[in-house]
Amino acid sequence: MFFASDNSGPVPQQVLDALAEANKGYAMAYGADALMDEVRNTLREIFEAPEASVHLVATGTAANSLALATLSQPWQTIFCSPVAHIHEDECNAPEFFTGGAKLTLVPGADKMTPEALRGAIEGEETRGVHGPQRGPVSITQVTERGGVYTLDELRALTDVTKSFGLPTHLDGARFANALVALGCTPAEMTWKAGIDAVSFGGTKNGLMGVEAVIFFDPRHAWEFELRRKRGAHLFSKHRYLSAQMSAYLRDGLWLELAQKANDNCAHLVAGLKEAGAEFLHAGPANMVFPSFPRATHRRLMAEGAVYHLWGAELDGGPDDEALPCRLVCDWSLAREEIDRFTKMVAQG
Amino acid sequence: MFFASDNSGPVPQQVLDALAEANKGYAMAYGADALMDEVRNTLREIFEAPEASVHLVATGTAANSLALATLSQPWQTIFCSPVAHIHEDECNAPEFFTGGAKLTLVPGADKMTPEALRGAIEGEETRGVHGPQRGPVSITQVTERGGVYTLDELRALTDVTKSFGLPTHLDGARFANALVALGCTPAEMTWKAGIDAVSFGGTKNGLMGVEAVIFFDPRHAWEFELRRKRGAHLFSKHRYLSAQMSAYLRDGLWLELAQKANDNCAHLVAGLKEAGAEFLHAGPANMVFPSFPRATHRRLMAEGAVYHLWGAELDGGPDDEALPCRLVCDWSLAREEIDRFTKMVAQG
Amino acid sequence: MFFASDNSGPVPQQVLDALAEANKGYAMAYGADALMDEVRNTLREIFEAPEASVHLVATGTAANSLALATLSQPWQTIFCSPVAHIHEDECNAPEFFTGGAKLTLVPGADKMTPEALRGAIEGEETRGVHGPQRGPVSITQVTERGGVYTLDELRALTDVTKSFGLPTHLDGARFANALVALGCTPAEMTWKAGIDAVSFGGTKNGLMGVEAVIFFDPRHAWEFELRRKRGAHLFSKHRYLSAQMSAYLRDGLWLELAQKANDNCAHLVAGLKEAGAEFLHAGPANMVFPSFPRATHRRLMAEGAVYHLWGAELDGGPDDEALPCRLVCDWSLAREEIDRFTKMVAQG
Amino acid sequence: MFFASDNSGPVPQQVLDALAEANKGYAMAYGADALMDEVRNTLREIFEAPEASVHLVATGTAANSLALATLSQPWQTIFCSPVAHIHEDECNAPEFFTGGAKLTLVPGADKMTPEALRGAIEGEETRGVHGPQRGPVSITQVTERGGVYTLDELRALTDVTKSFGLPTHLDGARFANALVALGCTPAEMTWKAGIDAVSFGGTKNGLMGVEAVIFFDPRHAWEFELRRKRGAHLFSKHRYLSAQMSAYLRDGLWLELAQKANDNCAHLVAGLKEAGAEFLHAGPANMVFPSFPRATHRRLMAEGAVYHLWGAELDGGPDDEALPCRLVCDWSLAREEIDRFTKMVAQG
């Protein structure tokens, strides 16, 4: 009953096998390994973007920060959701990697709306050199509350962005979960929807620590390479990143893993709804925010369930007070564990 | 015949096994995994430093840059060898992570001498607020030319450092190779010799990409944790770093691997000397710089030997011109390959 | 009829005289001039703070950014009003000087309330290393909308700040205007009210470009000196800054100028109220925000009045639409000009 | 007998008069003052560069750091003399403003030679992403030892620079002193000699604190404006900078002041040579480095002479030991004072 995060589960056997396979003999360092050529080609095919520049890093924060730094200037401001990972969970990494750019929080709850985004952008740069200048927009897909922007919603946002001549970054730490939820192609969810750069997450969907950064305009490639090295994010034994990403992309493993995670979540939601739970957010991907009575949380945790309460404290209030929590499903969850969990919730 | 670098070879089976073992079930993220507790305790024991703070990162540049940033201020200058990795091979990463500190190159060739270090330190900070202020000293052990500072040499350097009240960092990307060359304990090569912080390398000695940063004074711990996160070097699935380091330390594997690499190199040197080769540098660790005639290089490379010429070009000069090269041995090299190489050199 | 800003008027004759006087002969550079000793002593007396460290810079942005950088770390967030000058009008200077710290906007309109400040601080640092860490609070006095915090209001804010162990900075670009509005002592408005560092503005109140930064705890002095030099804000011919500040402080000139500016503004407000104007903000210092019909603005500007509309456009709407504007009075305004202005407003 | 620095003397009466004149009435802030238009036009005429972008700042360090930051990237290295002001006397300001670029010291004593510059540039960027990338070259004219590059020497350096496609910056803190020493035009000493950007100093030659930054390619203008604001170097009451620079340029005052300073220095050198002094450096501008016996220094200082010994200590050695010193002449020195000084030296 482990719903704490999709960064806490194991990697599939294919990834271990790929590491063992890649471990044979010698390989050129720093991304000059043959596996990286394969990864680059595969991602270009998957994204229908034969010119795209493709780079691997080991953490999502590195992917986001380096991509945004490449797209911005230190005197600009980056527009994002007020609950964006880049704002709340990266300890000022974007500010660090950009050399001191600002983040402007687009008013709203989780998903950005085109109107709010337009308002936020219009609100900046009316002051000549005095205010921060307008910089890139960063969209999180899956959102931090488990939501998924539709293709129309994405396009509506990038229409705004483009009307100001600004680039758009997609924080796709859960890219695959969003993709299978939408049932579209990677190209449709990115450059066809007006996205310029993508953090293509692997870590939360079954890798040990590998993310791709993809620029659809390859003129960003060299600057990104320099920023990656200067940020200490270029791996000497790069083949072990390549190997993981290669296994991830082979035979659609990445989509299969994401489908499993989303299905697990749908199964969980169905069970919880049957058990009468209410939801703060119940998006179509692999992360939902239901509420249970405090007493139920106590029993779940006592029975070994692991997850985070959401803006609530377990101690000190009435037993029947409804407390929200965050439940994240990864690909590896067993159905019996999910059922065991929902059964306990149903028991109240 | 792969002598290009010790970052190009495979990892030993124990590391793969440890990853597979660590892959079972769920683990808390971001360094709260149980394996990290084990790694921390083991490193404290190995270093006889029960209070030391221990942190894992994935690249040597991250280890160096984050350690130095923690020990310095942006208005200071860091003293190092003119051929230090932090100066020549990290694309300004130390300048980036420190927020703009300077590197002062201690005059000399590779190893720093106490006299040159003292002169360099005295040369700074005679200008009040106008010049950069004196900051930490960084010593590379094994040096970039394959040299190993003796304990007396290390102590002579840190005596200088301490006389100015400055901290000392040890860039130990090849820590184990130096240690087995000296035949001393980790404590003797570090805090007993006046070292304050260590980049304890694993990657060049058999790991996929794991380095420990160790501060003997634990008051640096929290700042380092924040800098690591802000630098995007905190792994969510941290257990896969812990697992590698744990396997590395278990039953002295790290020392065994380093001994193999050094022995391979000694075997190579013996063969080359027998073959009549001259050496620019022939230190006691796993990296040497011999010279061969251009024609010999041509034949070696034609036969599949992989290594780097050192400040020389293969094309365009006389066949009998002696060209230096860098040969690095890792633990995995087969003796037959080494013998095959030296035999070819002997053939002229 | 010049109400555009208090940075557009002349300096008083005493400042010119002081520059001429200071111009005689030679003076030690970089703040070692004798006039700086006098300035330091005088400010310590005025603030009843014999240990305070005192530094001069030439711009308000330098004063704020350098003071905040000295009080914070790059992984922290600085709490301020959503309309604070440091957020809206300094082109990311605080982010630059702090090395990438964040600004957290305390919800509200202009003045911060203790409740909102407490909520904002509590909202940060619940995420371990993941979120930005709590840093200093910056209070603007006079506020950007012309408001003045009472001593009780200041104390209520610093009580919150101190309860979290955080330092408090006062952006006093219009320090003197606030002081004479409150009728209190500099000590009462600063360290007695819990303030740790002050940007003590001179430029908007009659100097060419001089601000003092004052830390009540002198342990910040040396770091500030280094940051000032590194930020290129240390003047070689420092005596010309000292001379201005010296003249400013002599015989209460600074208070006299601020009183004139505030009196001018009170006279303006009285006239405008008589003329029937409504006010968005009509604080007690030297800056107010009245509304006039568009047609009135047109006539005022045609007659040579200079000021800024406030979030409104002169062109394109109905003549009788009320448009807000910002009017700032400096010490040098002639009463006849103010009367001419209000008379035109009264004429509708 | 004040030879400590050319930043310690007074400003000429014309500058005070210009400030008084500029002080009348109201002026638009932040560089939109009418005087700045005049300054811009005059500098474009003087430099025969009608498209040049012209900006004012208050310190030489700001001029250099902002200009170099505009010409470089954080992953690059800036080439300069080992005794350049930007390296030795700006407390890491270039590293700060560039966001962490490196400075590569071109081997040599003071003036850079084309050969040494070529060698230094060739030494960088042979390592792909691993080393710092090649960035701008900064030439100091007058050099830190009082030397003046001839036009041929300048051109030889910029020929090297251009052959690598790199931009060249001229640190002209003593621009006018060099110009009158060479007897050429500003255009000849800058863009006609291959210079791309100039720090055009005013402070050391008679202003209170004003330097112009000039880019001959105006596409740098907007970035510089943003960097200046973000660096807190944009003055609100900008007219007081403009007024000083305007007076400086009017009727050739700037050339007249520099000629006086150089003539004073030539008179000093003639007197010292007659008195039998030896020289470390005796360049054609306003700064020389003679040696006198320790006892002579003692007597000079006792009589009130103010200057800096150069790498020597007054105390503790034999009376007849020759100790070098630095003597700087500004425009305001009285000939009698110079004669008094040389007479004392002659007395031994």
At D324-344, the pLDDT tens digits run 999 999 999 999 999 999 999
pLDDT of B327 > 70? The answer is: yes
Would you state the pLDDT for residue A125? 67
pLDDT tens sequence across A94-124: 999 999 999 999 999 999 999 999 999 998 7
Query: Which of D10, D29, D240 is opposite residue C8, by nearest beta carbon?
Result: D29
The nearest CA of chain A is from the CA of D114 a distance in Å of 28
Q: Which residue has the tokens 């007849």?
A: D320
What are the structural domain ranges in chain A? 13-251, 254-346
A partners (3+ CB pairs within 8 A) are: B, C, D
Q: How many CB pairs under 8 A join C and D?
A: 138
Identify all chain A residues contacting C132, using CB atoms and an 8 Å cutoff. Answer: 91-92
Question: Judging by DSSP bridges, how do beta strands D76-80 and D278-282 pair with one another?
Answer: unpaired
Mean pLDDT of all residues in chain C?
96
How is the beta sheet containing D168-172 ordered, strand by strand? D53-57, D211-215, D197-201, D168-172, D133-140, D76-80, D102-105
Mean pLDDT across A302-322: 93
Q: Which chain B residues have a beta carbon less than 8 Å from that of C101?
A: none
Q: Which of B1, B11, B23 to probe the A interface (max A CBs under 10 A)?
A: B23
Q: What is the DSSP string of A150-214?
A: -HHHHHHHHHHHHHTT--EEEEETTHHHHHHHHT--HHHHTGGGT--EEEEE-GGGT-SS-EEEE
User: Token pair of C248, please?
Assistant: 């400013």
Q: How many Å lie between the alpha carbon of C278 and the closest alpha carbon of chain B?
A: 49
pLDDT for the residue C308: 95
A311/chain C closest Cα distance in angstroms = 10
Select the CATH number that applies to the domain covering D13-251 from these four: 3.30.930.10, 3.40.1360.10, 3.40.640.10, 2.40.10.220. Answer: 3.40.640.10
For the residues A252-259, what does the mean pLDDT come to?
98
What mean pLDDT comes out for the span A182-186? 98
Are the Cβ atoms of A226 and D130 closer than 8 angstroms? no
Of C76, C101, C130, nearest to A89 by CB-CB distance is: C130
D254-346: what fold? Aspartate Aminotransferase, domain 1 (3.90.1150)
Q: Which of D73, D99, D229 sits opposite A129 (nearest CB)?
A: D229
Decide if pLDDT at A126 tops 90.
Answer: no
Q: Using DSSP, state whether C137 is helix, strand or coil.
A: strand
C54, pLDDT greater than 70 = yes
Asked whether the predicted pLDDT for residue A315 surpasses 80, the reply is yes
Residue B259's region, left for phi above 0, alpha for psi from -120 to 50, else beta, is alpha
Of D129, D225, D229, the CB nearest to A234: D129
pLDDT at D124: 78
pLDDT digits (tens, 9 = 90+) for B60-103: 999 999 999 999 999 999 999 999 999 999 999 999 999 999 99
Using a CB-CB cut-off of 8 Å, the residues of chain D touching C27 are 8
Q: Which chains are adjacent to chain C, needing at least 3 Cβ pairs under 8 Å?
A: A, B, D
Supply the pLDDT for residue B325. 98
Interface test with D, best of A30, A66, A72, A75 (most D CBs within 10 A): A75
**Interface probe with D: pick from B78, B92, B124, most Cβ of D within 10 Å:** B92
Residue of chain D minimizing CA distance to A235: D130
pLDDT in the model for residue C127: 81
Tens of pLDDT, residue by residue over B210-250, are: 999 999 999 999 999 999 999 999 999 999 999 999 999 99
Integer Cα distance of B198 and B201 in angstroms: 9
% pLDDT > 70, chain A: 99
The minimum CA-CA distance between B138 and chain D, rounded to whole Å, is 17
Q: Which of D30, D100, D226 is opposite residue A133, by nearest beta carbon?
A: D226
Cross-chain CB nearest to D7 (options C25, C29, C91): C29
What is the distance between the alpha carbons of residues C229 and B133, in angstroms, rounded to a whole number? 12
Question: CB-based burial of residue C160 (10 Å sphere; 0-12 exposed, 13-18 middle, 19+ buried)?
Answer: buried
Q: Do C209 and D29 touch (CB under 8 A)?
A: no
> pLDDT confidence of B125, banded at 50, 70, 90?
low
CA distance B342 to B266: 12
Contacts of D130 in chain B (CB under 8 A): 88-91
- Is the pLDDT score of B126 beyond 80? no
Q: Are residues B129 and C99, on separate chains, in Cβ contact within 8 Å?
A: no
Which member of D25, D57, D62 has the closest CB to residue C10?
D25
Q: Note the CATH architecture for domain C13-252.
A: 3-Layer(aba) Sandwich (3.40)
Q: How confident is the model at residue C125 (pLDDT cuts 50, 70, 90)?
A: low
CA B104 to chain centre: 20
pLDDT in tens, A17-52: 999 999 999 999 999 999 999 999 999 999 999 999
Tell me the three-class secondary structure of chain B, residue by residue. Answer: CECCCCCCCCCCHHHHHHHHHHCCCCCCCCCCCHHHHHHHHHHHHHCCCCCCEEEEECCHHHHHHHHHHHHCCCCEEEEECCCCHHHHCCCCHHHHHHCCCEEEECCCCCCCCHHHHHHHHHHCCCCCCCCCEEEEEEEECCCCCCCCCCHHHHHHHHHHHHHCCCCEEEEECCHHHHHHHHCCCHHHHCHHHCCCEEEEECHHHCCCCCEEEEECCHHHHHHHHHHHHHCCCCCCCCHHHHHHHHHHHHHHHHHHHHHHHHHHHHHHHHHHHHCCCEEEEECCCCEEEEEEEHHHHHHHHHCCCECEECCCCCCCCCCCCEEEEEEECCCCCCHHHHHHHHHHHHCC
Determine whether the interchain pair C30/B129 forms a contact, defined as Cβ–Cβ distance below 8 Å: yes
Entry pTM: 0.97
Cα–Cα distances in angstroms (integers) from residue B111 to residues B107, B151, C260, D34, D328, in the given order: 10, 13, 68, 60, 40
Q: Do D129 and A229 touch (CB under 8 A)?
A: yes
CB contact under 8 A, C75 and A89: no
pLDDT at residue A127, rounded to an integer: 81
Query: Which pLDDT value is given to residue B64?
Result: 98
Tell me, yes or no, if the two domains B13-251 and B254-346 fold the same way.
Answer: no
Of residues B7, B91, B306, nearest to A229 (C-beta): B91
Q: How many CB contacts within 8 angstroms connect chain A with chain C?
A: 64
Q: What is residue A138's predicted lDDT score, i.e. its pLDDT?
A: 98
Mutate to test the interface with B, among C66, C220, C225, C226 (most CBs of B within 10 A): C226
Segment C19-29 mean pLDDT: 95
Tokens of D253: 């005052």
Out of A75, A226, A227, name the one closest to residue D226 (CB): A75
Hey, are the CB atoms on B229 and C74 less than 8 Å from each other? no
Residues of B in contact with A26 (CB under 8 A): 2, 4, 8-10, 306
Tell me the chain A residues in contact with residue C130 when contact means C-beta distances shorter than 8 Å. Answer: 88-91
Low-confidence ranges of chain D (pLDDT < 70): 125
* Eight-class DSSP state of D12: P
* Nearest-CA distance A15 → chain D (Å): 29
